[in-house]
Amino acid sequence: MSAQPEVAGFYDARSGSIQYVVSCKATKKCAIIDPVLDYDEKSGSTATRHADALLSHIQMRGLDVAWILDTHPHADHLTAAAYLKSKTGAPTAIGADVVKVQALWKDIYNAPAMPTDGSQWDRLFSDGDRFMIGEIEGRVMHSPGHTLASITYLVGDATFIHDTLFMPDSGSARADFPGGSAEDLWSSIEAILNLPDDTRLFTGHDYRHGGREALWESTVAQQKAQNIHLRSGRDEFIQSRISRDKTLPFPKLMLHALQVNLMAGELPPKEANGVRYLKIPIDAFPVAAW
């Protein structure tokens, strides 16, 4: 029988993101997954309210952070991985193909000094890699499609599926970012749905379909039976995903977020006046939907 870790989800209404603390009940070791650094694009201000809420939960539960994990380089929020590492000392990790995403965006940002070897993280996970959270073994599945570098974390009977599938009433993630692929996304979804039917699935986002309360946990069985994007098979899924993606505007924080997230959450260095600056490319994507 698979171990059953304790999972706590923390919803960020601003970005629709869910952060997770997954813990081993026996040892009190835990991992933080996809933490959010608060960022206001209108003022350029940052804050650590959401990350501090994770730390408060961890302290109240008497947990010890073993890992700080991101499932992929996020386009809709800044990761708080660097901040949380500074507070806990825990190692950071992401999928090994982040180096390919770094290479793509290095050119887009015209950032010749940006390392593209993944050295910003303590560990790069490849498909099949394993790691421990206390007595519970974690396993990594490479799950490309939404991004080149997307990975899924399997921790006992809990599986963190990031931006592949949302809740069944909301379907699946887009696949039109640089390096994305609707075909790869379908293959990644198939691999997730080949897990046992009672596997708990934890999504990376929820946009509160129809105005309902935020939800983030389902099962393989529920996704197979109810997901609105999986009803007509592979070919129709791919064509529908491609057509829909062409109508979607880019996430409002994508150009802000990726230059931070591809550096494992490290903000740009301060310039001579003591201020940090983000760099926004103009007309790099002239055909993007508005």
Quick one: pLDDT band at residue 1, thresholds 50, 70, 90?
very low
Q: Strand 78-79's sheet: what is its strand order?
A: 45-47, 36-40, 78-79
One DSSP character per residue, 57-117 reads HHHHTT-EEEEEE-SS--SSSEE-HHHHHHHH-PPEEEETTHHHHHHHHHHHTT-TT---S
pLDDT tens digits along 6-53: 999 999 999 999 999 999 999 999 999 999 999 999 999 999 999 999
**Confidence band, pLDDT 50/70/90 cuts, at residue 232:** confident
Could you identify the residue written with the tokens 């399997």?
154
Helices 81-88 and 49-60 meet at what angle, rounded to 10? 40
Q: Which domains are delineated in the chain?
A: 6-261 (3.60.15.10)
Query: Each residue of 85-128: pLDDT tens digit?
Result: 999 999 999 999 999 999 999 999 999 999 999 999 999 999 99
pLDDT tens sequence across 134-158:
999 999 999 999 999 999 999 999 9
